[in-house]
């Protein structure tokens, strides 16, 4: 990752499932991108904004800034893996 503070990124595509059909609602977006940051989000996003303004980062043409939703979250409890989910 080229931006200091960005640790990882993972893209997701909405899945059509029986459970989502039972609930009867669909999200307004079909794609999700999750970034993991190791610094204050305002600091990291400030660095991203500076890099975009300087031309060091190019925003992809597929990014629809008119409909994008962005939020920042903090962990609530430990990250669980595999067998520890039963703990």
Condensed to tens digits (0 to 9), the pLDDT of residues 22-79 reads 887 778 888 999 999 999 999 999 999 999 999 998 888 888 888 888 899 998 999 8
Q: Can you give the residue ranges of every domain in the chain?
A: 1-62
Categorize the per-residue pLDDT at 85 as very low, low, confident or very high, splitting at 50, 70 and 90: low
Residue 5 CA to residue 20 CA, distance in Å, equals: 34
Per-residue confidence (pLDDT) for residue 27, from 0 to 100: 81
Does the structure show a pLDDT above 80 at 2?
Answer: no
Per-residue confidence (pLDDT) for residue 42, from 0 to 100: 95
Give me the half-sphere count of Cα atoms (radius 13 Å) on the Cβ side of residue 13: 1
Q: Can you read off the two tokens belonging to residue 87?
A: 């703990």
What is the distance between the terminal CA atoms of the chain, rounded to a whole angstrom?
34
Helix boundaries (H) for 1-87: 18-23, 41-53
Tell me the DSSP string of 57-74: S---TT--TTT-------
Per-residue confidence (pLDDT) for residue 43, from 0 to 100: 95
Per-residue confidence (pLDDT) for residue 1, from 0 to 100: 64
Report the relative pairing of strands 6-13 and 31-37 from DSSP bridges.
Answer: antiparallel
């Amino acid at each position: 990752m080229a931006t200091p503070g960005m640790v990882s990124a993972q893209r997701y595509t909405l899945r059509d499932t029986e459970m989502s059909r039972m609930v009867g609602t669909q999200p307004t977006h079909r794609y999700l991108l999750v970034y993991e940051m190791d610094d204050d989000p305002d600091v990291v996003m400030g660095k991203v904004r500076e890099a975009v303004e300087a031309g060091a980062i190019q925003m992809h043409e597929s990014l629809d800034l008119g409909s994008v939703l962005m939020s920042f979250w903090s962990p609530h409890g430990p990250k669980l893996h595999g067998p520890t989910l039963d703990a």
